[in-house]
A and B are shown apart, each in its own frame.
Chain A
Amino acid sequence: EPEVTQTPSHQVTQMGQEVILRCVPISNHLYFYWYRQILGQKVEFLVSFYNNEISEKSEIFDDQFSVERPDGSNFTLKIRSTKLEDSAMYFCASRGEGTPAIVAGANVLTFGAGSRLTVL
């Protein structure tokens, strides 16, 4: 079964450092997402990406955050200058195109295993 893969699985960084989290979405998917889950809290939407541009972003996704699809397969989340409160599990997700009645699995997000970011 196709998977969304994320690297690294765990990263520890110092406050103020830049972090790049990488995701390889399912190959024929066209919509990409980043979510995060702070320990003990709910899963929060960060950003969605389609056709090489951001389609929606949340209030959390401020100027410190950016996303990129540099090579047609990877989908990255960059945090320019990490803060303590950025410590969380970051999930990448992707989905295909089409309506659910026509394309099996359309509109269903497939999530990666997550990247745990610890900011010290």
Chain B
Amino acid sequence: GIQVEQSPPDLILQEGANSTLRCNFSDSVNNLQWFHQNPWGQLINLFYIPSGTKQNGRLSATTVATERYSLLYISSSQTTDSGVYFCAVVTYSGAGSYQLTFGKGTKLSVIP
């Protein structure tokens, strides 16, 4: 099956710093999503971005499908950005069905 690798696995930032999280995938995909899992365990949708660039406030994402990677940019980080960021890709698994495969996540800690 498809491999989804996220880097770095852990990241510690000072409040106000910027960061880039990376997601590499081993095959072509139908779509790609970025999620934030907050410290309470809730999975929050950040971006649905099979290709191109999107921005939402201090966060933006870029997916280059032809080169099989996606980047999540966090600018002016805040303590509320702490948590785990997951990349997930959808691939066709045959017989009309699709599968969402998650990376193992990047754990972000923003310190005051």
Is B truly associated with A? no
Contacts from B to A (Cβ < 8 Å) = none
Contacts from A to B (Cβ < 8 Å) = none
